[in-house]
């Protein structure tokens, strides 16, 4: 498994993967990182596409993914991939799409274990009341990502 650390507007991120695909992308809660100058070939496209996303030049990722998880978690993550850029859904709606409204807690748990930060857009899932519910990378990152994707940009008053 190859690893690379890259800079993002939300702090450092770690990409892990191999010839079978990208296994994980994680936001790191430290600035004490040595960024890699050379990106392993199997991770280059992921790093490039993430850079394009953060620059506002990419709305969808085209990568071979290989996350580790249970069959249920993978079903949830596949459903997350269907949430369009700039849109949100609720945990309840996600549960309904998966065919079991009573599975809302399990869906939320699988959402929270998503190993592919940004690429599998778990940040697009919010509470039924529109609230910013838990987010492993930090609510401040979730808000930033949703604002970044919003078609309605905040205008400066000055």
- Please tell me which residue in 15, 47, 122, 145 is annotated as part of the active site: 122
**Rounded average pLDDT over 50-61:** 97
Residues 84 and 136 in one domain: yes
Task: Note whether residue 92 is domain-resident.
Answer: yes
The residue-averaged pLDDT of 131-145 equals 90
Residue 26 pLDDT > 60: yes
Could you tell me if residue 60 is inside a domain? no
pLDDT digits (tens, 9 = 90+) for 72-121: 999 999 999 999 999 999 999 999 999 998 999 999 999 999 999 999 99
Share of residues in the chain with pLDDT > 70 (%): 96
The answer to the question of residue 78 being in a domain is yes
* Sequence-separated (6 or more) residues with CB below 8 Å from residue 157: none
Same domain, residue pair 81 and 126: yes
Within 10 angstroms of residue 109's Cβ, the number of other Cβ atoms is 13
Could you tell me if 145 and 112 lie in one domain?
A: yes
Q: In this structure, are 117 and 49 located in the same domain? A: no
Residue with tokens 């994707």: 149
Q: Is residue 128 part of a domain?
A: yes
Domain range for 137: 71-149
pLDDT of the residue at 125: 95
Q: Are 87 and 137 members of one domain?
A: yes
Percent of the chain with pLDDT over 90: 81
Domain presence at residue 66: no
Beta-sheet pairing, 11-18 with 2-8? antiparallel
- The pLDDT, as a whole number, for residue 153 is 64
Active site annotation includes 46:
no
Instruction: Output the pLDDT for position 83.
Output: 97
In this structure, the answer to whether residues 81 and 114 fall within a common structural domain is yes
CA 109, CA 95: separation in Å to the nearest integer? Answer: 12
Query: What token pair was written down for 95?
Result: 């549960």
Q: Are residues 34 and 77 in the same domain?
A: no
Mean pLDDT for 46-60 is 97
Predicted TM-score of the model (pTM)? 0.91
Gap between the Cα atoms of 91 and 103, Å rounded: 9
The CATH number of the domain holding residue 116 is: 1.10.10.10
Number of domains observed in the structure of the chain: 2
């Amino acid at each position: 498994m190859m690893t690379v650390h890259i800079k993002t507007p939300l702090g450092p991120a770690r990409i892990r993967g191999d010839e079978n695909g990208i296994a994980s992308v994680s936001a790191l809660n430290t600035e004490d990182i040595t960024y890699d100058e050379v990106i392993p070939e199997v991770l280059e496209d992921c790093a490039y596409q993430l850079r394009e996303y953060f620059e506002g030049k990419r709305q969808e990722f085209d990568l071979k993914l290989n996350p580790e998880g249970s069959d249920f978690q993978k079903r949830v993550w596949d459903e997350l991939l269907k949430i369009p850029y700039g849109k949100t859904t609720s945990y309840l709606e996600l549960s309904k799409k998966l065919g079991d409204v009573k599975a809302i807690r399990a869906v939320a748990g699988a959402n929270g274990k998503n190993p592919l930060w940004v690429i599998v857009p778990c940040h697009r899932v919010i509470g039924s009341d529109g609230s910013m519910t838990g987010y492993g990378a930090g609510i401040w990152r979730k808000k930033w990502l949703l604002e970044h994707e919003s078609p309605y940009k905040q205008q400066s008053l000055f």
